[in-house]
Structure 1
Amino acid sequence: MAHTREDPPSLPTEPRPYLEELVRRTRTVCGPQLVSVLAVGSLALRDYRHGRSDVDVTVVVEPSLPGSALRDLATALAHPHLPCPAAGLELVVYGTDFVSRPSGDAGYLLDLNTGPLLPDRAGFDPARSPAFWYVIDRSVAHQTGLTLFGRPAREVIAAPDRRDLLAAISASVHEHSDGEGHLADNRVLNGCRSVVFCRTGRWLAKRVAAREVALTEGEFRPLIEAAVHSFERPRSSAVPLPTAEVRAFLTWVRERVEQAARATGA
């Protein structure tokens, strides 16, 4: 990709032209106040699945970037003005003054969701959003973020404190336990990823984390294997999973997270 730090072969073929145009438009809108454009989520964890995964991007800007530029950026990147080839784009913009220090807050300047399978939303008030998604995403970005433009992730995004991060993971498991708005397979695989992080301090791709948990937790292996099978299909043809088994698994996950928090003194 032109004007990027990441070699093209490390990015999946399907979203590559889209990411190139996204970077170009972001540079045009933000100008010299743009610090970094980072691929995070499944792209960074090398588990992007076309037709299933979102494109997750973190943008870091100087805090002096005016609010009007943030609104212009949301317009410039909105689907179908910029057609998203994935299920959707989840893009978050932060100021350098916020992401350079650990925080348990949401803290964004812009939170943009857009795409063929996502409801369009451009948020500018972090107080209106649950903080836990952003804390987890910044942790993933710090560990594995791919630099599409500008400074590398580890130079601009501080890792959240473990206490804040475990609180965020616990909150995410609670939300997945409710089930509303989330595919069952994604709820199970996110639970696997949370357990592996509590054990190792590393974020792994969902399917890799699922394999690790399935190897050690025979009771849940059939459910986890069914979740992986469903995850490998498009969102529109995801396989239903037994509700009671999903809830039981997520209760077990929540207990593992709480155990890790107690061990840390969180």
Structure 2
Amino acid sequence: MAHMREDPRPLPTEPRPYLEELVRRTRTVCGPHLVSVLAVGSLALGDYRHGRSDIDVTVVVEPSLPGPALHDLAGALAHPHLPCPAAGLELVVYGTDFVRHPSGAAGYLLDLNTGPLLPNRADVDAARSPAFWYVIDRSVAHQTGLTLFGRPAREVIAAPDRPDLLAAVRASVREHSDGEGHLADNRVLNGCRSVVFCRTGRWMAKRTAAREVALAEEEFRPLVEAAVRSFERPRSSAIPLPTAEVRAFLAWVRARVEQTARAAGI
């Protein structure tokens, strides 16, 4: 992928051919309206686990992109038309006019989920979606996004303002506390990442954040270490975690996040 990538940081071996073809198809559909294709999420944070992680991609286009191109792009990238080697692809398309400014809104032009373990979804109505995941993803993209094609992330994606970002973190922790639709290990590790972000203002890989929490919080160390062991396995063989302990841990996480938000006047 050296002929397309500007970012010198390495990508994991397994998804490289897929990402190369994803970029090729995106360039074909979007043409001169394409500004950037960025790897975000676990790929950007250096914590991609093949067989467990999704592939997270952000695409930035000029607002002049013809409307039908979004439908065409969703079709070109849909699994199994383009077989996804990971658990799934989560790809979000933004216009430059939106992402160049900080925002607490979802703001996407297209939100595509597809893959062997994800139900196919191509949504073009950002008003229907909770904004917090998109705010967090743009923050990660601005901090560490890997350039697969075009302009670097920091040049095209503005960092969300801290109040909007803390509100998004708070909302994400609330969703994980409810637990529906999320593996227990992922809920625990995202909790660790949220706490470390509140302490440092930086996004870390889930396992790195987990190590920090395990070292600092002896009470939760066995649970956090069990979550890491589970995360290192395929999704189909995730280790069950004690429900009551997960609930207690996430209540502690939520209290830490709420404390940070209140201190910031949110």
* TM over 0.5, shorter chain: yes
Provide Cα deviations, 1:120-178, integer angstroms capped at 9, x if missing partner: 00000001111000000000000000000000000000000110111101110110011
Within-5 A mapping of 1:73-222? 73-222=73-222
Aligned twin of 1:54: 54
Distance 1:3 1:47 in 2: 22
Provide Cα deviations, 1:21-66, integer angstroms capped at 9, x if missing partner: 0000000000000000000000000110000000000000001112
Aligned twin of 2:226: 226
For 1:75, the aligned partner's letter is: G
For 1:117, the aligned partner's letter is: L
For 1:5, the aligned partner's letter is: E
Distance 1:43 1:194 in 2: 18
SS in 1 for 2:19: helix
What's the % identity of the aligned pairs? 86
For 1:251, the aligned partner's letter is: A
Deviation at 1:236, TM superposition (A): 0.2
Aligned twin of 2:238: 238
Deviation at 1:6, TM superposition (A): 2.8
Deviation at 1:264, TM superposition (A): 1.3
For 1:223, the aligned partner's letter is: L
Give structure 2 stretches of 5+ with no counterpart. none
Distance 2:254 2:226 in 1: 20
Deviation at 1:110, TM superposition (A): 0.2
SS in 1 for 2:47: coil
Moved beyond 2 Å, runs of 4+ = none
SS in 2 for 1:43: helix
TM-score, normalised via structure 2 length = 0.98
Give structure 1 stretches of 5+ with no counterpart. none
TM-score, normalised via structure 1 length = 0.98
SS in 2 for 1:149: strand
For 1:201, the aligned partner's letter is: G
Provide Cα deviations, 1:201-225, integer angstroms capped at 9, x if missing partner: 0000000000000100001000000
For 2:4, the aligned partner's letter is: H
Aligned twin of 1:5: 6
Distance 2:119 2:176 in 1: 19
Distance 2:4 2:241 in 1: 44
Cα RMSD over matched residues? 0.7
Deviation at 1:85, TM superposition (A): 0.4
Q: How many pairs were matched up?
A: 265
Distance 1:192 1:63 in 2: 37
